[in-house]
Amino acid sequence: MPRLSEEVAKAALASNEEFRKKLGEALRELGVSYKEFAKASRIPSSTLYKVLAGVREPSLSTLRSVVNALRRFEKASVSGKVVAVVAARPTLERLSERVIRRGEEVYVIREYPALSIEECIIAAVRAEQDGADVIVCAPIVSATIEKIVKTPIVTIVPEEDLRKAIYTAIEKASKLSP
C-alpha cells in the first residue's frame, strides 16, 4: 500500500488539483488540521491555506516541505503508539502537539471530532478499529465507551476550564440579580 507522502508526491506531478485533493485526504487521514500541518511542515499557514483552496500554486520548496512533513507523520504513526482524543472540534483545535516524545517512546495524537454522545461512541469505536492504544474522552461518555470498546479509556478532567466556567457563570448570575 503506497504511503501518504508517496501518493501526495505523485499527485503533485499529475496536477495542482490532484495535489490539493490528495493532500486534503492525507490531512484527514492523519487527523491533522491544515494549521497544525503548516506548523509541522514549517510552511506559513496562510500559504498552505491558499494552496489547499486553489488560490496559489505550490512552489517546489513547498512541495518538498509537505512531503517531508508527511514522512515524519508516517514515521511517527508506524513507530509510535496512538492516543485517540474524542472531543468537540473547538477542544481539538486547542491541541498544540500531534506527536509527543516521552523518553524513547513516540505517541501520535489522533483527533476524533464529535458533537453528540452518539458521535462520541461512534468515534471511540472507530478509534479502536484504527488501532488506537488508548482513548481520551469526556466524563459524560467514558463509562459507556468503556463498556463498548476494549481499548483503555482516560477521562478528560478539565479542572481549570471548569473553574473558569464556574466563575464566568457566577459573574453572569450576579448581573442578573436585582
Same-domain status, 73 and 84: no
Residue 143's pLDDT is what? 93
> What Rg value do the Cα atoms of the chain yield, rounded?
19
Cell numbers for 145: 465507551
Same-domain status, 84 and 172: yes
Q: What angle do CA 132, 138, 143 make, to 5 degrees?
A: 80
Contact 135, 153 (CB under 8 A): yes
Phi and psi for 112 in degrees, rounded to 5? -135, 90
- Domain count for the chain: 2
> Over pLDDT 70: what percentage of the chain?
92
Q: For residue 5, is pLDDT > 90?
A: no
Domain CATH number, residue 25: 1.10.260.40
Residue 2's pLDDT is what? 52
As a whole number of angstroms, the distance between CA 26 and CA 98 comes to 14
Same-domain status, 171 and 89: yes
Q: For residue 24, is pLDDT > 80?
A: yes
Cell numbers for 163: 473553574
Same-domain status, 167 and 127: yes
Looking at 62, 78, 94, the residue that finishes a domain is 78
Q: What angle do CA 151, 156, 159 make, to 5 degrees?
A: 160
The string of pLDDT tens digits covering residues 50-89 is 999 999 999 999 999 999 888 877 776 655 788 899 998 8
Same-domain status, 64 and 99: no
Pick the more confident residue, 157 or 142.
142
As a whole number of angstroms, the distance between CA 108 and CA 90 comes to 19
As a whole number of angstroms, the distance between CA 165 and CA 88 comes to 17
The most confident of 17-31, 70-84, 109-123, by mean pLDDT: 109-123
Same-domain status, 9 and 74: yes
Note down the domain range covering 48. Answer: 4-78
Residue 90's pLDDT is what? 85
The string of pLDDT tens digits covering residues 117-149 is 999 999 999 999 888 889 999 888 999 999 999
